[in-house]
Structure 1
Amino acid sequence: MAILQANLHHAIAASAVIEKIFSEGGLDIALIQEPWINADSMVAGLNNAELCSEDTVTAYVEVKGPNRSKVLFCSAYLPGDKQDPTEELTNVLEYSRRQKSELIVGCDANAHHTIWGSSDTNMRGELLSDFLLSNCLQVLNNGHTPTFVTKTRQEVIDITFATENVSKCITKWHVSSENSMSDHRHIRFDISGLVEAQYPRVRNPKDTSWDMYMSP
C-alpha cells in the first residue's frame, strides 16, 4: 500500500496534485489536512472523500491477505491555538483500542520536538511527545528534512506515528521533493507485510465452573 500525507493549505492547486497522483495509480490512501472545501464545507476536488470532524478524518480499513488486518487510518490537524494538542488524538486512540485495530496517524502537529526532527522543542512538542511515549506509539519521521517550507521559514511540524505492531510494516518513509503546490511538502511511505494484531489471552478464575472442573 502506498500512502501519502499532506497539508493542502486549502489550495485548489494542491488538491489537483493529489488527484493527479491518484488518477495515475500511484497512491492507495492519502492522509490530508486543511483540504480545499466548498461553500457547504465538503471536501472539493477529491473524489470519495468524507470529513469526519472539523480537524480529524478517520477511515477504518480491513486489509485482506493471508491474515486480515484491521487498521484505523487517521489524518489530523492539531490547531496551534490549543495548548494541549492531544485531546482529539486520545479519542481516536481509545477507539482503535476498543476495536482492537492498529492505528496510523498522519498529522500537521504544529508542534516542535527534536524527536521528529524539528530544530528545537516547544511546550506543545513536549506534551505531544509525552502522549506518544506513554501510549507506546512509534514516531516514523526520520532525518531533519523540513516538512513546512516558506520563503522565511523551514521546520518539521508534520509527523507520522503508529501503534507498535503496524509500525514494523512501514517502509520508505520520506519527505518528498515533488512540488506539492502547498507550503507543506508531501510525506510518502509504504505499508507491507501486515499481520493480524496479537492480543494476549487472559483466563478469569471467577468465570470457571469449579463443580464441573472437579467432577471425575
Structure 2
Amino acid sequence: MQLKILQVNVDRRRNAHHLIQRVVLEEEIDIVLVQEPNKTIVSKDTKWIVGKSQNTAIWCKNKACGITGHETGNGFVNITFKDWSIYNCYISPDVEQRTYEKCVDRVMQHARQGGKEAIFAGDFNAKSTLWNSTTTDRRGEYLADWVQALNLTVENKGNIPTFVRGAQNSIIDITLSTQKMASKVTDWRVSTEESMSLHRHIFFKVQTVGKNRRKEGFVKCRIDKELLIDTSQLMGDNISTLQELNTALHDAQKAATSWGAREERREEPVWWNDTRQSQPQGKVQFTQEGADTGEKKTARSNRNIRLGGKI
C-alpha cells in the first residue's frame, strides 16, 4: 500500500485551509499534515486530530491506511501505525533559543520512547545547509545535532523555497525520517502551485505493507454545507461555461463529503477512540553511523546530557 501525504503550514488562513480540500481530491491524498491550522475550522470539524496548542493538525482522509492510535502534545501531533509513526510538528519563530531546544527535545525524546521507526514533518523554523538552506542558524545547528544523533535522513530535495514572502524566501519546512523509513519515502517534492499561504505544499509518498480492502454494503456520508459553499466559491473564479460550472459543483460536492464506515462494520477504527492509549511495541535502536570529526564531534559530546545520554 502506498500512502500519499500532503504537508503544509496554512498560516491560520481560511482559504488556504479550504484549498486543501481541492488538493486532496485532485492529488488523491491519504493523510494531511497541517501546521498553524485555522483554529475555528479544526475545532468544529471532528475529522481533524489537533495538537494541544492548536498549532498542528492531522486529517486522515483514507480510513483504511492502518492507523492504530494517536497522541497530541504541545507543538506536535503523532499518529501511529503497526510499526512506525508520523510526527507533525510546529515551532514558532518567536520563541527564544532555549525554548526552541526544549520543543525539539520533546518531539525527539517522545519518538525514542515510543520505540517505532518514524517520520518527522513540519515547520521547524530552522535553517541549515543540511536541508539545502543557503545559511545555517543556531536553530538549524541544534536540529542538525539531533538529525546526526538519531541518524535521521533529510528527505528535502532540491533548493525550491518552502516559504516565500515577497523577496524573502527560505527552506524551513522539513521532512525527516529514520533509516528504515527512509527507504520507504519516495517522490518528495515542493509544489510551486498557489497554496494561498506563505508556505508551499509539500508532497511525498510512503510505501507500507498491505492494501486497501473494500467491503460490500451501503456507505453513510455527510456533507459539510459551509465547506461546500466555500469550496464552490473558490472553484468558481474561472468558470465561464455551463459545463465548467457543472464540473466545479461536482468537484466541490466531492471535496465537502466525508464518508463513514459501511453499515456492516459495527466498530469504529480504534484510532478514532480518543480514550485509547497507543501501546509501544518494542524498541528501535538508533545508531550513529560513520565517524564525526572536528567541531561537530565536540558539539555532539557536549550535548549528550541534554539529548538524553550517549547515542
TM-score of the superposed pair, with normalisation by structure 1: 0.79
Change in 2 beyond 3 A, CA 1:47/1:18: farther
Q: Which residue of 2 aligns with 1:103?
A: 118
Match of 1:169 in 2: 184
The correspondence for 2:79, drawn from 39, 53, 60, is: 60
Matches for 1:14-93 after TM superposition, within 5 Å: 14-24=16-26, 26-38=28-40, 43=42, 48-54=47-53, 55=55, 56-62=75-81, 69-80=82-93, 81-84=95-98, 85-93=100-108
Identity of aligned pairs, percent?
30
1:46: Cα distance to partner? 5.7
The amino acid that maps onto 1:31 is L
* Counterpart residue type for residue 170 of structure 1: V
CA distance in 2, matches of 1:15, 1:23: 14
Could you say what secondary structure the match of 1:79 adopts?
Answer: coil
Paired amino acid for 2:84: V
Q: Please tell me whether the aligned partners of residues 12 and 45 of structure 1 are also in contact (alpha carbons under 8 angstroms).
A: no
Give, in whole Å, the separation in 2 of the partners of 1:77 and 1:111: 11
Offset, 1:123: 1.3
> Would the aligned equivalents of 1:8 and 1:33 in 2 still touch at CA under 8 Å?
yes
Instruction: Map 1:114-125 onto structure 2 (within 5 A).
Output: 114-125=129-140
- The verdict on how the C-alpha distance between 1:113 and 1:77 changes in structure 2, with shifts beyond 3 A counting, is same
Distance 2:184 2:124 in 1: 23
- Contact 2:104 2:143 (8 Å CA) reproduced: no
1:171/1:106 CA distance change after superposition, 3 Å: same
Q: Which runs of 5+ in 1 are unaligned?
A: 63-68, 201-216
Instruction: Say if 1:86 and 1:131, in contact at 8 Å, map to a contact too.
Output: no
Q: Which amino acid aligns with 1:21?
A: V
Q: Please, which runs of 5 or more residues in structure 2 have no aligned partner?
A: 56-74, 211-280, 286-311
Greater per-residue helix proportion: 2
Query: 1:120-169 CA deviation, whole Å, 9 max, x = no partner?
Result: 11111111111211121211111111000121211111111011111110
* Deviation (angstroms), 1:47: 5.3
Mapping 1:168-207, distance limit 5 Å: 168-193=183-208
1:197–1:143 distance in 2 versus 1, CA, 3 Å: farther
Alpha-carbon distance, 1:97 to partner? 2.8
Runs of 4+ in structure 1 deviating by more than 4 angstroms, as ranges, are 44-47, 193-200
Number of paired residues?
A: 191
AA partner of residue 143 (structure 2): L
Query: Would you say the 8 A contact 1:11–1:182 is kept in 2?
Result: yes
- What SS does structure 1 have at the residue aligned with 2:5? strand
What's the TM-score, normalizing by structure 2?
Answer: 0.56
Q: 1:79 to 1:197 in 2, by over 3 A?
A: same
Moved more, 171-180 or 91-100: 91-100
Corresponding residue for residue 211 of structure 1: none
2:158 paired with 1:159: no
**Aligned with 2:97: secondary structure?**
coil
Q: Which amino acid aligns with 1:132?
A: V
What is the rounded CA distance, in whole Å, between the counterparts of 1:19 and 1:46 in structure 2?
Answer: 13
Deviations 1:26-58 (A, max 9, x none): 1111111111112xxx72586511222224232
1:7 Cα deviation from its structure 2 partner = 0.4
Kindly state the Cα deviation for residue 173 of structure 1 after the two structures are TM-superposed. 0.4
